[in-house]
Structure 1
């Protein structure tokens, strides 16, 4: 790589990447995008080649692939796998500090060969929804929470998942929410998460022990939805790498361990007026605005249509059970963690709505896009919410689809949400998820063998 191309490349990078490269060569650059599952797809190449090449190619079939590796080829006209154009978004360039050599990761923008954003690329779906807000003079703000489990290595899918072994020589214990000693049990993994995050320029608001055995919650700062989704995309990859360094798995499954709470991706929402910079959920005197209630009303009315994005796998629906820290309906309440929509205690300037439905297994771009879409429709249609609920919402009937098939039917039946997210995206997404669901229905579970083999 010539010194000129090195200098030109480094000049485009954020400060955190320039600092990381001081005194080091750029050995490799990973050119990545998120697929429908939120998994990093792309190409790795030497730094010199990356510096000379303005764009790259990937086939659009990466968005037609199920989690098992099959393809929903019915979504494409002839399934010819045309190339998409990938252009680096240099503002996302960040180190991959777990690698043996000096490696950068760069998220890429994705267009078709006519220069149009590929409509079923998850990052483009989120950008589309954010642009719909901006067209009305609003800027959405989000603050996501990440819950995940650290578990013992599991190389046999037939074996139940176990908590990790802690420094005490015992497996991590459940029902130790907010315990500092519980977090210390796997402190080396947490230390690496902090160190990697610092090297990558990712800010952590806090880490705490959740209610499950080996379950961690990581809070992120509030900000721009696309930037926060990029950070979650990086975080999920980085956390897995930090865990593997210590012979541990990090899993973002919604419900990895029977009898333990599921892992959520709660999303806090507010909306700012672009001209004034003020939170549109609060009046000048600190009281709630009609827009605040309309946002909640839109979420209550439309969230059932996007559960297929917030709970994208058959396992996701195991999380929605009473008294396991996950909502079972769409009630809303003030400082009430039993409701699907919670209004946290805050100053008027920070008034916000917390959507507690998304699971941590969802693609962060799609989870945030879906949640924002519901609120936006409420703002536009001036949807009125129900009265706030003050009791235990777990005692109310379930208002959620009970499986992925039902959830996909609700998405298909809501034309307003489909239009907001993009019809072509919804068509591709539903085709992929229907194939995944059909694949799962072919599997005979241990429960069926145990209870039906000789008893029916």
Structure 2
């Protein structure tokens, strides 16, 4: 019986030999199970990793032999997986944060368009990103990939398609076995630790030439497209820019890029970290998001009028971000450490201002022609789950358009010298998220209650740790 199921799943699609050949040659994604079977055979794949992002963006899932993957095997995970903290603990229930009383199964549903090799594995291995459904196929609203898909669907109902381009910053650091000790930059090919002040330095990138080569090689094998790679302001801080495209596809790419960069770094005996603020006194790491919206019928950018001038939708999108992003910050700055990046005298904005080509504002409008008019959200940290950060940013802009919210006047001067307009810590951010009815409308109350419960659980775990600052200044003085 199992062999019959396997055959049916692998050959049920009526596909031509040309499409099979094209699928085999593609480094990323197929359209049917028949193409998937041929793709896996052509590469001699032995195992398949079925992965999905949890609330933190950590890959969770199951690995299985290829023969089992192409059969009608049902892949299940416990629903509690989306209610545990980054440290693996399960917060206590509250009035709004509840566990499934049965801890019933949720299903992994492979998205074959994401099928790729795992290039760092020694045995031939593939990976596929999975959506999550209920045990009977019913829709699950609170998982990150499903949430982002829901936001994209809200745009589609209006005849629009959002387009995004993320920029991801990260640090390379020397291996650190003891979390009580601060992190330090690794030694590069010169044998010396790289220092700060290396923004856009080619020599800074060249210090890690072999690692960068591996990142490019691994990315090419997975069909991931890097637009540019630069050295950022901090010591051994790099940034990768991705080509613009569909939000779900770009979130998938960030999800896989983080894994790829960590694996490449480990192969060179160092760590890659996406912590928002890994080193005291150094710049934090952001995930800037460039956003535009196009008309589904015409393909034209709705942020521009036919004469090339900015449209009402453009200004309303910015107005929505100004109004709602402070209330959605927990999804873009999801940890206690995230708010160490959002501090005065650092490059990160602390405001809700917008401006033309003004990097001190939260929402920057880069110089472009009318077709490429876009808004850059400079607030999210690189520690954010890319699916949730994109969902939050796009949802706030969507609400602005739908509610016809007008922005402030654009800021031409330095915007970071006034009052701080953002939540100053995780608990404040979580409370703002919970208290905004419009965000409940677009994200669902179920997601917000689960997310808030997990974040509060993480904060309580953090509060159990005594920091060096407390030992330094309180031990003998209070």
The question of whether the paired residues in 2 share the 8 Å contact of 1:267 and 1:368 is answered with: yes
Deviations 1:55-93 (A, max 9, x none): 311111110010111013523355431100111110010
Q: Alignment partner for residue 26 of structure 2, among 15, 19, 36? A: 15
- For residue 16 of structure 2, what is the aligned residue in structure 1? none
CA distance in 1, matches of 2:318, 2:390: 15
The question of whether the paired residues in 2 share the 8 Å contact of 1:182 and 1:209 is answered with: yes
2:446 paired with 1:427: no
- For residue 47 of structure 1, what is the aligned residue in structure 2? 66
- For residue 178 of structure 1, what is the aligned residue in structure 2? 200
2:379 paired with 1:368: no
What is the Cα deviation at residue 13 of structure 1?
A: 7.1
Cα RMSD for the two superposed structures: 1.9
Q: Alignment partner for residue 274 of structure 1, among 296, 300, 308? A: 296
The question of whether the paired residues in 1 share the 8 Å contact of 2:10 and 2:70 is answered with: no
- For residue 452 of structure 1, what is the aligned residue in structure 2? 474
What is the Cα deviation at residue 114 of structure 1?
A: 3.4
The question of whether the paired residues in 2 share the 8 Å contact of 1:26 and 1:47 is answered with: yes
- For residue 232 of structure 1, what is the aligned residue in structure 2? 254
SS in 1 for 2:88: coil
The question of whether the paired residues in 1 share the 8 Å contact of 2:10 and 2:71 is answered with: no
The question of whether the paired residues in 2 share the 8 Å contact of 1:13 and 1:91 is answered with: no
Q: Structure 1's 240 and 291: CA in aligned 2 closer, same or farther, altered over 3 A? A: same
The question of whether the paired residues in 2 share the 8 Å contact of 1:125 and 1:369 is answered with: yes
Residue correspondence of structure 1 range 280-429 to structure 2 within 5 A: 280-429=302-451
- For residue 224 of structure 2, what is the aligned residue in structure 1? 202
CA distance in 1, matches of 2:415, 2:246: 31
- For residue 243 of structure 2, what is the aligned residue in structure 1? 221
The question of whether the paired residues in 2 share the 8 Å contact of 1:5 and 1:51 is answered with: no
- For residue 174 of structure 2, what is the aligned residue in structure 1? 152
- For residue 125 of structure 1, what is the aligned residue in structure 2? 147
CA distance in 2, matches of 1:99, 1:206: 26
Q: Which sections of structure 2, spanning at least 5 residues, go unmatched? A: 13-18, 29-35
CA distance in 1, matches of 2:460, 2:42: 53
Pick which of 46-55 and 340-349 moved more: 46-55
The question of whether the paired residues in 1 share the 8 Å contact of 2:9 and 2:72 is answered with: no
CA distance in 2, matches of 1:79, 1:55: 22
CA distance in 2, matches of 1:324, 1:80: 47
The question of whether the paired residues in 2 share the 8 Å contact of 1:54 and 1:87 is answered with: no
The question of whether the paired residues in 1 share the 8 Å contact of 2:79 and 2:100 is answered with: no
SS in 1 for 2:122: coil
CA distance in 2, matches of 1:199, 1:242: 13
Q: Which sections of structure 1, spanning at least 5 residues, go unmatched? A: none
Q: Alignment partner for residue 243 of structure 1, among 257, 265, 278? A: 265
- For residue 53 of structure 2, what is the aligned residue in structure 1? 34
Q: How many residues align?
A: 456
Q: Structure 1's 247 and 396: CA in aligned 2 closer, same or farther, altered over 3 A? A: same
- For residue 110 of structure 2, what is the aligned residue in structure 1? 88
CA distance in 2, matches of 1:6, 1:22: 15
Deviations 1:370-419 (A, max 9, x none): 00010000000000000000101111111011100000111111110121
CA distance in 2, matches of 1:108, 1:316: 28
CA distance in 2, matches of 1:36, 1:363: 7
SS in 2 for 1:16: coil
Q: Structure 1's 320 and 403: CA in aligned 2 closer, same or farther, altered over 3 A? A: same
2:275 paired with 1:253: yes
- For residue 165 of structure 2, what is the aligned residue in structure 1? 143
What is the Cα deviation at residue 119 of structure 1?
A: 1.3
Residue correspondence of structure 1 range 53-132 to structure 2 within 5 A: 53-72=72-91, 74=93, 75-77=97-99, 79-132=101-154
Deviations 1:289-311 (A, max 9, x none): 01100000000000011100100
CA distance in 1, matches of 2:262, 2:141: 29
The question of whether the paired residues in 1 share the 8 Å contact of 2:172 and 2:272 is answered with: yes
Deviations 1:68-123 (A, max 9, x none): 11013523355431100111110010111000111111111211123222111100
The question of whether the paired residues in 2 share the 8 Å contact of 1:14 and 1:90 is answered with: no
Q: Structure 1's 14 and 383: CA in aligned 2 closer, same or farther, altered over 3 A? A: farther
CA distance in 2, matches of 1:244, 1:225: 29
CA distance in 2, matches of 1:123, 1:186: 33
CA distance in 1, matches of 2:99, 2:278: 37
2:25 paired with 1:25: no
The question of whether the paired residues in 2 share the 8 Å contact of 1:148 and 1:250 is answered with: yes
Q: Structure 1's 116 and 22: CA in aligned 2 closer, same or farther, altered over 3 A? A: closer
Q: Structure 1's 77 and 441: CA in aligned 2 closer, same or farther, altered over 3 A? A: closer
What is the Cα deviation at residue 319 of structure 1?
A: 0.5
CA distance in 1, matches of 2:99, 2:146: 21
